[in-house]
A = this chain, B = another copy of it.
Amino acid sequence: MIPRRDLLKGSSNSLLLCLLEQQPMYGYQIVKELEVRSQGYFKFKEGTLYPALHRLEKSGLILGKWQMLPNGRQRRYYHITARGQDKLAMEKTQWQDFLAAIKLILQPEPASP
């Protein structure tokens, strides 16, 4: 199985919002979580993930909060915002529309009788 990660373009935002809707997470955790849940398919690179998170935060769709761990280390936990939830709902719909359009090409409808 060869993952086609270029298919990701345009979907990564939705994936991230979707994860963060389920619970707040930090970057490194997101990478691991995506990999585990997709059974190894998604392996976000840092160069993909962090800029994406920064973009989402800048757009007000997520909010990052630094959190201090007992051992003194810091993690940046991202929470989805209300705007982010609206956006996610919209993107899910758009994703369905896209799939439907693709299906029409791959399996052309027979002409109506």
CB-defined contacts of A10 to chain B, threshold 8 Å: 4, 6-9
Our pick among B22, B38, B101 for the contact of A41 (Cβ within 8 Å) is B101
Is B7 a contact of A105 with CB atoms below 8 Å?
A: no
CB-defined contacts of A15 to chain B, threshold 8 Å: 102, 105
Each complex incorporates copies of this chain amounting to 2
Interface membership of A108, Cβ < 8 A:
yes
Is B39 a contact of A104 with CB atoms below 8 Å?
A: yes
Interface membership of A2, Cβ < 8 A:
yes
Interface membership of A95, Cβ < 8 A:
yes
CB-defined contacts of A22 to chain B, threshold 8 Å: 108
CB-defined contacts of A19 to chain B, threshold 8 Å: 105
Is B18 a contact of A105 with CB atoms below 8 Å?
A: yes
Rounded to whole angstroms, the CA-CA distance of A100 and B34 in the bound complex is 13
- Known contacts A4-B10, A9-B10; 12 further A-B pairs (Cβ under 8 A): A3-B97, A3-B98, A4-B91, A6-B10, A7-B11, A9-B9, A37-B104, A37-B108, A38-B102, A41-B97, A41-B100, A41-B101
